[in-house]
Amino acid sequence: MSAHGNETSRRIVAIGPDRRGFLKGMVGAGAFLLGVRAGVIAAPRPSDGPGDAAAAFAPNVWLAIEADDRVRIVAHRSEMGTGIRTVLPLVVADELGCSREKVEIVQAIGDEKYGSQDTDGSRSIRRFYEPMRAAGATAALMLRRAAAARWKVPVGETHTADHAVVHGATGKRLGFGALAADAAKLPVPDATELTFKKPADRRFIGADAPIDDARGIVTGAAKFGGDIRRPGMLFAMIVRPPALGQAVKTVDDKATRALKGVVDVVRVPGFSGAHAFQPLGGVAVLARDTWSALQGRRLLQVTWGESPHSALDDAALAERLVKIVEKPGAVLRERGDTPKALKSADTRIAATYRTARLAHAPMEPPVATAEWKDGACTVWAPTQNPQAARDEVARMCAVDKAAVTVEVTLLGGGFGRKSKADFASEAAWLARHAKAPVQVVWTREDDIAHSYFHAPAAVHLEAGLDQKKRPVAWLQRSAFPTITSTFNPAAKAPSPMEMGLGFTDVPWAVPNLRAEGGEVEHHSRIGWYRAVCNIWHAFAVHGFADELAHAAGADPLAFLRDLIGPKRLVDPTTEGCTYPNYGEPLAKYPIDTGRLRRVLDRAAEDIGWGRKTPAGTGLGIAVHRSFLTYVAAACEVQVSQQGKVSIPRFVIAADCGLAVNPDRVRAQMEGSVVFGVSLALHSAASHKAGRIEQSNFHDYRIARITDAPRRIDVRLVGDGENLPTGVGEPGVPPIAPALANGIFAATGKRVRELPLSRADLSWS
């Protein structure tokens, strides 16, 4: 039973080596198969597998209805705790009119025919909600037409419900399976012919539903990356270069090779050019079990060559970032004449905020298994991006990607790290070398030392207040090593995409506003991290807003509401911003300050804003739009006189448009609070002489249960009339600034650097 008392017996198709064959020929005798691509109905073409050629609509296969009434729906996104493997198929099932107990979910292999499979950027629902609805509605219409022809009645008199087509006037029913063969022979309707269920008629969309993998996860039956076993499989652990770009100079492997259980020691080639998703290289120990591989690796004696990245020092980089942002940079958005307004302002305030480098540190470190047969490779991996994994395996092993199949297991967390396919190609390359299946295992220490790090950053802000203490000018300047260096080693300037993450899209109603960016060299791998640049931008922008409120002698909530201004739609493109809306059209997903103020007011109301608090206790608040979703965070913070922080309560008010599965939305927001508290209080990775200084959770701190808020309340504010937007990431950005603002309210100490544990928070 779920927490809401809804029991489900939906079957899940297990991960298996024959998945590719199944997906190539989902249609058996008399089955009906449908494909949709990005909202466009695909034309019929011969099936890639057995069965009636006219029954398959390829190349983008989403669902199949079998003659025995089973409905199989393809989940093409990766499951890492968000529930997306359940939610997207439920959208199809709702429009189709399915009974849940007759639905099976099939995890897709990596293949371009499914459109983007990269499960990041909080895009799964917003990009595929409409195509999945179209898939279900198309199948429903074709089944209704098949039934109407058999009954000789108008199709308008029919509807689907409980896995059958129903004739409203007579109550006649025909199950989906009985109509599958007839429906498969019909032409695919045009998108303009589709009708969709009204909200009152939906069974699954907008209703709480447990994730389908929950029972397997709880009982241990679910298959994660490390659970894969193949006959004759070897296990590999790799010594990777301490600093980015170092190559193996010498190897002494005598002691390793003498160890019982060790099979081989192999040099793994490093990357060339842009590191992208290529393996770092190093020396691999192949063994018959993980313990032997680990012990053998410890016995290796490896020396390394030089690298231009060997001098990376994060302490020095932090100082350099501050110097960069305290000088003018490239203007990325301009409203009015900000420099002039600052000079003439009655009061001028400036502050610089800093954030540390972060590692993803998911509960499950990277792991992948590969097997070669007859020149073809199958890889099993907990990857967020199976298409990129397929491409990288093909590149590294110099084979056509048609020879590579990537099977997606469940992910024990990802946060962006597992969008990169280096661990999958390591396994494939070693399996071909060993002529046996190989599982590459990363330890926690490997993962932290060789992450695609979230870059450190500095943000400088200046504001001018008039005589009435109202803001008349706002200047902000951001600098950080850019993620585009992943694909272009020469890149120094921040990309428009990065600056559009909570920076050039700020919705403030200030007459003079300027956003600038600075250039920084990179010396480590940089990768997408949950909420990406919104983390440092939200921390700085909303921390500074709180500073201005106190400087103006105003209530922070009232000041923030004035900064947001009246209800309106904001278009940053008219002021020079070139990436304002996460790649989506503003006409479809406008920046609506009314929605922003609504979540702010709800969070403030629920936390009891304005109430008196005891000494050492404060209330903090922040509101931020990211991934098209509006989220306000309000917290109650207690700080002991010795500086220990505890959090009695966090309130999250979120407007994500239509909440397709409210239970999952609440769970993601709750997780975002803990994630945000973790990076705000403790998390920091640092390089010295090119090497990461942290190794495990004892020195790369994440939130313990004693750090987590004692209570988290999530309020879903959306009215369901707007399209669904992102959920996985937008709960994170406002957490750190709300917490820092609460600490100031409790202690009078303004903290402008993350993690907050670096500051002395004691008070008297």
- For the segment 585-624, what is each residue's pLDDT rounded down to a tens digit? 999 999 999 999 999 999 999 999 999 999 999 999 999 9
Residue 79: which residues within 8 A CB-CB, separation 6 or more? 85, 86, 107, 211, 213, 410, 411
The distance between the two most distant Cα atoms of the chain, rounded to a whole number of Å, is 85
- How many other C-beta atoms lie within 10 A of the C-beta of residue 641? 12
The residues that bridge with 355 in the sheet, in sequence order, are 457
Q: Which of 84-88, 280-284, 355-359 has the lowest mean pLDDT?
A: 84-88
Task: Tell me what percent of the residues of the chain surpass a pLDDT of 90.
Answer: 87
Task: Tell me the pLDDT tens digit for each residue of 210-250.
Answer: 998 999 999 999 999 999 999 999 999 999 999 999 999 99
The domain limits of the chain are 11-211, 225-307+366-441, 326-358+452-758
Q: How confident is the model at residue 1 (pLDDT cuts 50, 70, 90)?
A: very low
Q: How confident is the model at residue 43 (pLDDT cuts 50, 70, 90)?
A: very low
Say what the pLDDT of residue 101 is: 87
Say what the pLDDT of residue 113 is: 87
State the average pLDDT over residues 64-72: 87
Res. 100: pLDDT tops 90: no
Say what the pLDDT of residue 391 is: 97
- Structural tokens at position 11: 């079957």
Q: Do domains 11-211 and 326-358+452-758 have the same CATH topology?
A: yes
Res. 509: pLDDT tops 80: yes
Res. 12: pLDDT tops 70: no
- Structural tokens at position 75: 């989940």
Say what the pLDDT of residue 66 is: 85
Tell me the C-alpha distance between 325 and 476, whole Å.
Answer: 9
State the average pLDDT over residues 470-481: 98
State the average pLDDT over residues 318-335: 98
What are the C-alpha distances in Å from 431 to residues 232, 292, 424, 530, 663? 11, 18, 11, 32, 41
Q: Which CATH number fits domain 11-211: 3.30.365.10, 3.40.47.10, 3.20.20.150, 3.40.190.10?
A: 3.30.365.10
- How many other C-beta atoms lie within 10 A of the C-beta of residue 521? 16
Q: How confident is the model at residue 711 (pLDDT cuts 50, 70, 90)?
A: very high
Residue type at 75? A
Say what the pLDDT of residue 30 is: 47
State the average pLDDT over residues 78-96: 93
State the average pLDDT over residues 109-137: 93
Q: Which residue has the higher pLDDT, 486 or 70?
A: 486
Say what the pLDDT of residue 61 is: 67
Q: Across all residues in the chain, what is the average pLDDT?
A: 91
| Class (C level, CATH) for 225-307+366-441 | alpha beta
Q: Phi, psi at residue 77, to the nearest 5°?
A: -105, 160
- How many other C-beta atoms lie within 10 A of the C-beta of residue 393? 30
Res. 494: pLDDT tops 60: yes
Q: Which CATH number fits domain 326-358+452-758: 1.10.630.10, 3.30.365.10, 1.10.287.110, 1.10.8.50?
A: 3.30.365.10
State the average pLDDT over residues 497-516: 98
Residue 358: which residues within 8 A CB-CB, separation 6 or more? 453, 454, 529, 535, 679, 683, 684, 685
Res. 517: pLDDT tops 80: yes
Tell me the C-alpha distance between 167 and 155, whole Å.
Answer: 9
Tell me the C-alpha distance between 731 and 514, whole Å.
Answer: 26
State the average pLDDT over residues 17-39: 43
